Amino acid sequence: MARQPARPILPLPANMEAVVTIKLGNRAKSRSTAGQATIVVDLRAPFSLIQEAIALEASRIKVAYDATEANRRDKITLELPSLLLIFFKTGVSKAQNDYVGLEEGNFIAEFTTAWKCLQERRSAAAATYKLELFVYATKSKQNQTIN
């Protein structure tokens, strides 16, 4: 029986859509989502610019979260960490514990690996693939931190 030729692996695109999700609580146990935003990430840009874009979206999510009627009434605010750590969900069925922290030295390698794995399994899915990026925050009420 003749073996089918391997599918060609497309290179990592220059730009990819990413869903940025702000989760409430600890990374391993977070169930609540404060909000989401979709951005386009320029993968040729330095990591610091990607961090800035995500920080901007996180700030927008914070404003929307804090402005809800229930949160205003209860004086609850979203507290973003001073050092914004960004986590990447590397696969569809990965648990939060398995998300990878991104930094200058590893972000392109992590994105490239996930991109190649996706194409090896389901090449048609590559056309609609979005990076899944997470930031963990807390909420506070009158200077108390609530997880």
Q: Please provide the CATH number assigned to the domain covering 15-146.
A: 3.10.20
Q: What is the pLDDT of residues 6-62, one digit of tens each?
A: 667 788 899 999 999 999 998 888 889 999 999 999 999 999 999 999 999 999 999
**Can you give the residue ranges of every domain in the chain?**
15-146
Strand partners, 115: none
| pLDDT of amino acid 146 | 63
Give the Cα separation of 33 and 25 in Å (integer): 9
| pLDDT of amino acid 93 | 84
pTM of the predicted structure, to 2 decimals: 0.87
85 falls in which pLDDT band (50, 70, 90)?
very high
